[in-house]
Structure 1
Amino acid sequence: MQCEPIGTVSTPFETTSDAPSQGFHEDSAGVVHVDEAYAAGLSGFDAESVVVVWWADRADRSVLTLDRDPSRGVFTSRSPARPNPVCLTECRVVDVDLDARRLSVRGVDMADGSPVIDLKASLRERVD
């Protein structure tokens, strides 16, 4: 399996532990920067919200149970600490700058500089 980041995200959080546990509960601002090679993927982007698929590159990949409740496994949570730290965060879109290849969003819960794997329009808005 291969997966290449399409960009990165800028947030006010230095680490995942600094970030809120659920971005949609907060109003924290961030910017998704899309690499030039993937700029065409933003064509026609008009969603009010977007699911940011990101990689928690600094997460502990050896964790299998929750620190706060060792009777629960990580697969029962949204914790970024897990064997394959693929994370999903639904964010509200504040602004789209196609020329600069960036989306300004609110509701981020990822560490600054985290790799973005994909962007998906919210299921509430459209299913294509």
Structure 2
Amino acid sequence: MFDIEPIGTVHTPIETSREAPSQGLKDEIEGTIEIDPAYEQALQGIEAGDEIVVVWFADEADRSLLELDKVPGRGVFNSRSPARPNPIVITPCTVTEVSGTEIGVRGVDMIDGSPVLDLKSTLHRDLNQA
């Protein structure tokens, strides 16, 4: 198979999945992504105001759910729900500040302490820099 190791952890005021907004962009909840110091060089160029995509693992999600309980007849692969066989989630966020290996972000929907797998610039930003 393959191995995936978190690159960091997200810290948010969200303590349970019930408290999390359905989409981070619907709320202005702020948090901090703490990146492992081994990856600090990979943060070069990320600045306040940037839009990034946070790839994270919903380690507390229900991995047995295949059909959405709130929407009968709709499977989890037809949703953005973190409850799914492999709860890898993406959340677009706005960077509010960068300080060393800590990135302040707005638009979070992750539970406090969730592992961060990757950060990506938005496709729009990548196309503008090409």
Give the TM-score, by structure 1 length: 0.94
The runs of 5 or more residues in structure 1 that have no matched partner are none
Residues 15-34 of structure 1: matches in 2 within 5 Å?
A: 15-34=16-35
Aligned to 2:118: 118
| 2:5 matched residue in structure 1 | 4
SS at match of 2:103: strand
CA distance in 2 between counterparts of 1:17 and 1:56 reads 13
How far does residue 108 in structure 1 lie from its aligned partner after superposition?
0.2
Aligned residue type for 1:51: V
1:42 equivalenced with 2:43 (yes/no): yes
Aligned length: 126
- Give the Cα–Cα distance (whole angstroms) in 2 for the partners of residues 67 and 49 of structure 1: 32
Higher helix proportion (structure 1 or 2): 2
Choose which of 58, 64, 67 in structure 1 pairs with 2:60. 58
User: Separation in 1 of the partners of 2:19 and 2:84?
Assistant: 17
Aligned residue for 1:88? 90
Instruction: Check if 1:109 corresponds to 2:109.
Output: yes
CA offset at residue 45 of structure 1?
A: 2.0
Task: Tell me, yes or no, if the aligned pair for 1:50 and 1:91 is still in contact at 8 Å.
Answer: yes
Q: Which runs of 4+ in 1 moved over 3 A?
A: none
Name 2:72's counterpart in structure 1: 70
Q: Could you tell me how far apart the structure 1 residues matched to 2:98 and 2:36 are?
A: 14
Identity %: 53
Structure 2 counterpart of 1:78, which letter?
A: R
Instruction: Judge conservation of contact 1:16–1:80 (CA < 8 Å) in 2.
Output: no
